[in-house]
Amino acid sequence: MKFSDLGLSEALLKAIEKKGYTEPSPIQEKAIPVVLEGNDILASAQTGTGKTAGFVLPLLHILSKRQPQGKRPIRALVLTPTRELAAQIYDNAKEYSEFLDFRTAVIFGGVSAVPQVKKLRNGVDMLVATPGRLLDLQGQRKLSLADVEILVLDEADRMLDMGFVHDLKRILKVMPEKRQNLLFSATFNSDIKRLAQTYLTNPVIVEATPENSTVEMIKQKIYRVDKTDKTNLVIKLISDGNWQQVLIFTRTKHGANRLTKKLEKQNITAAAIHGNKSQGARTKALAGFKSGNIRVMVATDIAARGLDIPLLPHVINFDLPNVPENYVHRIGRTGRAGASGEAISLVAADEVGLVRGIERLVGEKLPSEVVEGYEPIDNPDDVQQEKNRGGGGGGRGKKPHHRRNSDNKGGGNSHFRGKRKSNSGGGGGRDSGGGRDRRF
Ligand code: AMP
């Protein structure tokens, strides 16, 4: 399938070519024709699948075909949960609309509203927004949603998780009832289904990335370790493996700050990215990380959601997330756009129970290892938990100096580290066409 088979205008095909995309991703192949026909869609896709172009391209096609004369009201609204995601969608939309007479704006909190309002005053065709700032400016009558024809809810699950449901309802109330709705979500829980039933009209269901297959192309493993040893183990993994671009997840903002400081003390450049950081600091951290000036980015779940970090080779879960779905989102930061990646989870005694939920969700048992010198000294509760989950290998974890490398080939060498393995012939299959087809 080629982009030119999808029915997009010449101006869009030219922009696509300029971006260097040679073929549509599965979500684009499925979603674009459906949106062009004017249908509502309910799409299962997460960041990294090319979903943004999946809705922005047909939206640009439709709206630029019927450009109103004179005043330019907002005719498309893209709602996103985070500022980063909003900024990214805006950047993409600017690129895709380069050869069209089309105006896009982005608004989000944490920065001055003045330039945003100024831009809106000139008239925009498409607005990308986070719910809070949107309602704020709508309440002040700085913008009107009365002419919206197409609504995109991106990362709808995360929007609900972040408590935006009431904001969402208020926003929907000030829009025309008759409109085209595109809902994108990485997961489909009952809340999302209810949202879809309430606001979507006969949606076409588009599914491009079943969660499990996303996970398949990412090399996952667990290191059992004591909580107090986690920081040292992270430093060792990064140093021994000479990893140059690592995303680390912590459960708390405080934990992210603490780890960042400790890494820096070891001369490993690092930056924390979380909700307490100003927008400027977040943007700077992300830019530094992308350019290679910052080796490690330490993030909380919410801050990292939607970040577009191409070809990220290593993700470390410093703490396991409480919600198994977040594990899938986190490790989705690696193995992007067809490349393979490695996702490591550091699991302390009190997190062993969480592993089970994750394994159930991803549909496979995660291989577990212990690094020499970082053997956990499990407490009795933990041993019981391991037994409950059917963890084999008699005496698993009981003896502090019992090494277990058996789950992974090549473990006999103390310099086992994943880098070598992820580039090995064994991993090659994941780099090949199969993996590419699934995500790109
Ligand atoms: P997204 O899932 O929308 O965040 O996109 C992930 C990354 O894939 C972005 O860097 C896009 O620029 C890129 N991308 C989107 N569509 C394609 C395509 N058809 N071919 C190659 N890369 C793409």
Q: Which residue type is seen at 108?
A: F
Instruction: Give the chain's mean pLDDT.
Output: 81
Q: Give the residue with greater pLDDT, 152 vs 202.
A: 152
Give 167 Cα–ligand 1 centroid separation in angstroms.
Answer: 29
Averaged pLDDT for residues 428-432: 29
Percentages helix, strand, coil for the chain (3-state, rounded to 5) are: 45, 15, 40
List of residues 6+ apart from 31 with CB closer than 8 A:
41, 43, 51, 54, 55, 58, 182, 206, 208
Atom of ligand 1 lying closest to residue 49 CA:
2
Residue 407 has pLDDT above 50, yes or no: no
Averaged pLDDT for residues 9-26: 93
Alpha-carbon torsion angle 294, 300, 284, 333, nearest 10: 60
- pTM of the predicted model as reported, rounded to 2 decimal places: 0.60
Residue boundaries of the structural domains of the chain: 3-207, 218-422
CA–chain centroid gap for 10, Å, is: 31
**Closest residue CA from atom 20 of ligand 1:** 21
Whether ligand 1 lies within 6 angstroms of the CB of 49 is answered as yes
Contact 370, 376 (CB under 8 A): yes
Residue 300 has pLDDT above 60, yes or no: yes
Phi, psi of 369 (to 5 degrees): -135, 165
38: alpha, beta or left, given left = phi > 0 and alpha = psi -120 to 50? Answer: left
Instruction: Give tens-digit pLDDT for 53-94.
Output: 999 999 999 999 988 888 899 999 999 998 889 999 999 999
Give 238 Cα–ligand 1 centroid separation in angstroms.
Answer: 28
**Closest residue CA from atom 11 of ligand 1:** 50
Whether ligand 1 lies within 6 angstroms of the CB of 439 is answered as no
Please tell me the predicted confidence (pLDDT) of residue 146.
97
Give 346 Cα–ligand 1 centroid separation in angstroms.
Answer: 30
Q: Which CATH superfamily is domain 218-422 in?
A: P-loop containing nucleotide triphosphate hydrolases (3.40.50.300)
Task: Tell me the angle at which helices 26-36 and 51-65 cross, rounded to the nearest 10 degrees.
Answer: 20
Helices (H), 80-164: 83-96, 114-121, 131-139, 156-161
Instruction: Give tens-digit pLDDT for 178-233.
Output: 999 999 998 777 888 888 988 999 999 887 654 444 445 678 899 999 999 999 99
CATH, range 3-207: 3.40.50.300
Alpha-carbon torsion angle 77, 82, 85, 87, nearest 10: 80
Evaluate whether 3-207 and 218-422 have a shared fold. yes
**Closest residue CA from atom 5 of ligand 1:** 50
* Res. 309 pLDDT band, cuts 50 70 90: low
